[in-house]
């Protein structure tokens, strides 16, 4: 099917966006933050929202109830953009719909803080959340999921594997149009060529910013397809029909399934990259967050 009319309308209403470069990055960060309410609305009421210090890493906790399971949320933005405020409305809805405490981690961004800084922050925060934080905030450390979108999907996929490797695996993982393969061709039949080329240019800048020279991009921390995937938690992998990341997300879902991981893969037809944040713009975004929340409820029960 073609681009959904709601997506076409959003693209038509948006100002032309420049490609990501070192010079444009401050403007793109400000633009993403300023547009959060237009895309996601004000969010919804959650019983308790608080910023906490997780051993030096800022984490925002969304708690719809006094105690229960935990969802670790890792925002997108190409490892170079995005923050807690940009994703605040989405995290509010995710907590309210799933019934779980959502912990959004304010990991450091590239290029100021390249790999492995983001993983260092995530590991520090997760260790705190499953230890001291669990005791202080009524979190069940034995029922923990990890969720991320785009570059956050990459961070979530790798985090699930890293914690499995140390014998403290997650209960569930949800990967929303994840970045998986630094060498993917980014082919996407039907995606308008100008959108594809912008995604390719942005992707190249983001990878180069995230991974400093001297690191092997074939390492499983950077290319999750190269990891041993057996024994990972059940996965929901969400992709968008008109997204240059669609093929690599689907390839990862296939690889998980071949490794024996219970995997559900769903492609939202007519949608483009980043649709998941568009809770006030796209019916598909509201359907997707409902599906994600239902999956989390079931897996964390």
Confidence label for 189 from pLDDT (cuts 50, 70 and 90) = confident
Residues 40, 98, 150, 172: which is the catalytic one? 150
| 227-252 exposure pattern, b = at least 16 Cβ within 10 A, e = fewer | bebeebbbbbbbbbbbbbbbbbbeeb
Is 243 among the catalytic positions?
yes
Averaged pLDDT of the chain: 95
Does the pLDDT at position 188 exceed 90? Answer: no
How many domains does the chain fold into?
1
Average pLDDT over residues 209-220: 95
| Residue range 78-113, pLDDT digits in tens | 999 999 999 999 999 999 999 999 999 999 999 999
Task: Return d(Cα 186, Cα 181) in angstroms, integer.
Answer: 10
For the full predicted model, state whether its pTM sits above 0.85.
Answer: yes
Residues 121, 202, 243, 274: which is the catalytic one? 243
| Residue range 4-33, pLDDT digits in tens | 999 999 988 888 888 899 999 999 999 999
Average pLDDT over residues 190-214: 88
Confidence label for 185 from pLDDT (cuts 50, 70 and 90) = low
Q: From edge to edge, which strands make up the β-sheet containing 139-149? A: 48-54, 57-63, 101-105, 68-74, 139-149, 172-176, 235-242, 263-272
CATH number at residue 285: 3.40.50.1820
Is 88 among the catalytic positions?
no
**What is the extent of the structural domain holding 198?**
5-299
Task: Return d(Cα 86, Cα 39) in angstroms, integer.
Answer: 10
Residue recorded with tokens 């509201």: 286
Average pLDDT over residues 160-169: 98
SS3 115: coil
């Amino acid at each position: 099917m073609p681009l959904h009319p709601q997506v076409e309308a959003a693209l038509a209403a948006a100002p032309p966006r420049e490609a990501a470069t070192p010079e444009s990055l401050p403007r793109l960060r400000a633009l993403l933050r300023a547009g959060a309410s237009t895309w996601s609305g004000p969010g919804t009421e959650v019983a308790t929202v608080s910023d906490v210090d997780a051993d030096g890493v800022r984490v925002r906790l969304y708690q719809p109830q006094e105690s229960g399971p935990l969802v670790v949320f890792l925002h997108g933005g190409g490892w170079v953009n995005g923050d807690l405020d940009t994703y605040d409305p989405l995290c509010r809805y995710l907590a309210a719909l799933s019934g779980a405490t959502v912990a959004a981690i304010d990991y450091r961004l590239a290029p100021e803080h390249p790999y492995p800084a983001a993983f260092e922050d995530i590991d520090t925060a997760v260790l705190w959340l499953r230890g001291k934080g669990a005791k202080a905030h009524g979190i069940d450390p034995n029922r923990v999921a990890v969720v991320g979108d785009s570059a956050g999907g990459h961070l979530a996929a790798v985090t699930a594997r890293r914690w499995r490797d140390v014998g403290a695996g997650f209960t569930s993982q949800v990967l929303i149009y994840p970045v998986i393969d630094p060498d993917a061709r980014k082919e996407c039949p039907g995606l308008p060529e100008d959108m594809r080329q912008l995604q390719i240019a942005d992707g190249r800048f983001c990878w180069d910013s995230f991974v400093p020279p001297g690191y092997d991009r074939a390492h499983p921390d950077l290319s999750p397809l190269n990891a041993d995937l057996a024994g990972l938690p059940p996965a929901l992998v969400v992709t968008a029909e008109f997204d240059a990341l669609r093929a690599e997300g689907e390839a990862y879902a296939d690889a998980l399934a071949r490794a024996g991981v219970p995997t559900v893969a769903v492609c939202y037809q007519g949608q483009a990259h980043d649709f998941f944040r568009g809770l006030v713009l796209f019916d598909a975004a509201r359907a997707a967050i409902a599906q994600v929340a239902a999956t989390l409820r079931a897996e964390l029960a």
